[in-house]
Amino acid sequence: MQEKTYIVIMAGGIGSRFWPYSRNNKPKQFLDILGTGRTLLQMTFDRFSQIAPAEMFYVVTNKHYLTLVKEQLPDIPENQILTEPLRRNTATCVAYANYKISKNDPHAKVIVTPADHLIVREDKFHQKIELALTACNGNNKLITIGIKPNRPETGYGYIQYISDPNNHIKKVKTFTEKPNLKLAKTFLESGDFVWNSGMFVWKVQSALFAFGKYMPEVAEVFEEGMAFYDTEKEEEFIKKAYSLVKNTSIDYGIMEKSDEVYMVLGDFGWSDLGSWMSLHENRKKDPDNNVVEANAILYETQNCYIKVDSQKLVVVQGLDNYLVNESENVLLICKLDAEKKFRTFVSDAKNKGEDYV
């Protein structure tokens, strides 16, 4: 039997590290952050459309973003836009999609991807995905895409793998959450660590086996849904299911525990676009290393990101490593690399009023 490949796009995040441009009512995945004329969600769909047709896509998002997904991806069947009643992290999101897919196609292969990544060399990316689709054929194998690091980045998770020059598929040894700078430097020097991209490839039955083994409480909940998926009772069931499961990432819940995780090394120009700093790295810059998306006059200013509505003239003097962003009713001026402060910024802004977040 010919195995079909399904694409699961995770698009439920709120993008708080891109505040105030990214807001609760329209997070970063629904924005044209890169100035391409397509939002990050649409760019993700475009990228995987070369692998599977629209009817093979599932998008998992918060219930508040259903209309946005329908507007931006009109080719995806509405019953394949899976709306979450609560935010329960990636393990729950992945479980919902995989159990629903397995009901209709128990022989499926599944690619899971975040909605907000930048891939520069898409031809090379597709080669690696095809390699991963072949590699996942083994019993209960879970394939992740690792990214060859070029700096000691503390904002990414890391994967340690067992080096085997004769095999393109590497056995994963350990997962490590975001390390401190000293540890990140050690990882980089060791040569056997890669960045965790958050992309996964597997046979749907391998995913269900892993949930049953490592997250049995989640498996039990979503197995009960087999009678309700693709019926008028699905929404009611999912509301109950999400109230029963914990907030857990797929990395912590399964990938860190399984001894059947393998890695395909990706070197295709990747960024998770997780912060203003990472966006700065990927945008065109002036001779002083500034990204300027504004009608601006700059004096003695370098390494900055200036994004303000072009109807206003912005005059900046003497700044180094700063973000200046005015979006709707919020003006933010802070250090460009202050991404760890954004949770505080957003929380304090919320205390000023819901309209600010």
42-69: pLDDT as tens digits? 999 999 999 999 999 999 999 999 999 9
pLDDT higher than threshold 80 for residue 130: yes
- Percentage of the chain lying above the pLDDT 90 cut: 92
1 band by pLDDT with thresholds 50, 70 and 90: low
Please name which of 331, 322, 341, 344 lies closest in space to residue 277, comparing C-alpha atoms: 322
Q: Can you point out the beta strands (E) in 154-251? A: 158-162, 169-176, 193-203
Is residue 283 within 8 Å of residue 269, measured between CB atoms?
no
166 band by pLDDT with thresholds 50, 70 and 90: confident
Give strand pairing partners of 323: 305, 334
Contacts of 250 (CB under 8 A, 6+ apart): 89, 90, 91, 93, 94, 112, 200
Beta strands at 142-147 and 193-203: parallel, antiparallel or unpaired: antiparallel
pLDDT computed for residue 177 by the predictor: 85
pLDDT higher than threshold 80 for residue 267: yes
pLDDT higher than threshold 80 for residue 163: yes
CA 2 to chain centre: 29
Give strand pairing partners of 83: 61
- Arithmetic mean of pLDDT, 105-130: 97
How far apart (Å, rounded) are the C-alpha atoms in residues 143 and 315? 49
Is residue 251 within 8 Å of residue 271, measured between CB atoms?
no
Sign of CA dihedral 269, 274, 278, 284: positive
pLDDT higher than threshold 70 for residue 100: yes
171: left (phi over 0), alpha (psi -120 to 50) or beta: beta
Give pLDDT tens digits for 28-46. Answer: 999 999 999 999 999 999 9
